[in-house]
Amino acid sequence: MEGGEKADDTDKESIVEKFIEGTELKRSHPRETWSNNLDFILTCVGMSVGLGNLWRFPYLCYKNGGGAFLIPFLTFIVMGGVPVFMLELGLGQYMSLSGFQAWKICPLFQGIGIANVITTAFCNIYYIMVLAWAAYYFVLSLTSILPWSSCNNDWNTLR
């Protein structure tokens, strides 16, 4: 054998390839892929920018000093949010696994996948309530006399 060559071919495989082979996650059919890059980028933006960003961000700017709030906010986004987003995105794309299964590559990081699922469940509960309020008031706005057009209602009149 010469220099740094090794006799065992399995040493040449990466950790990720060993993980995928060992977990029997190979699929009999190929996974779907994006038709073009723009679809993928718009989907990522749509998942990143939600109701919380549109409703809560202006409030946080006003409460925490206006434009001065943007400096630490953007710093934390660039230094923390973007690297973690790129790590998760790259790992998911490379391994072709869900966000829950991709973190099983290292037993120490399995909690990240579990935390992602739990956080998503709590966010969905919150947003379902917000959307229910919006749907409720939309239906009420279709009536000929709006319930909030006067103060003679049992819920907004002193008794």
d(CA 129, CA 136): 10
**In sequence order, what are the residues at sequence separation of 6 or more whose Cβ sits closer than 8 angstroms to the Cβ of residue 93?**
none
Q: pLDDT by residue (tens digit) across 106-137?
A: 888 888 888 888 988 998 888 888 889 889 99
Q: Residue 152: what residue type?
A: N
Q: pLDDT by residue (tens digit) across 92-107?
A: 778 777 777 777 778 8
Residue 59 and residue 69 in contact, taking contact as beta carbons nearer than 8 Å: no
- Listed by start position, the domains of the chain span 11-105, 110-159
Q: pLDDT by residue (tens digit) across 47-78?
A: 777 766 777 778 878 888 777 877 888 898 89
pTM, two decimals, is 0.49
Token representation of residue 11: 């040493």
